[in-house]
Amino acid sequence: MKNISLKRNINFENNEKERQDYELFSLKITDSVYKKDIGKFLETLSSHFI
């Protein structure tokens, strides 16, 4: 039998960390945008019914 060696990406852990950081940053921006949109919607809704 031959020995099989796998070459793995040494920077895999760094790439994974960068991807997680980017996803967290992206989610924070998305959350902020939705909160602003919901706030504007509720403001508009309340101004029409009051």
DSSP result, 13-32: HHHHHHHHHHHHHHHHHHHH
pTM (two decimals): 0.45
- Measured CA to CA, the distance from residue 46 to residue 21 in angstroms comes to 37
Beta-carbon contacts of residue 9 (< 8 Å; ≥ 6 apart): 15
Note the pLDDT of residue 50.
61
Beta-carbon contacts of residue 15 (< 8 Å; ≥ 6 apart): 9
Structure token pair of residue 40: 């504007």
- How do residues 1-50 score in pLDDT, each as one tens digit? 566 665 665 555 667 778 788 888 888 888 888 888 988 988 888 887 76
Note the pLDDT of residue 10.
57
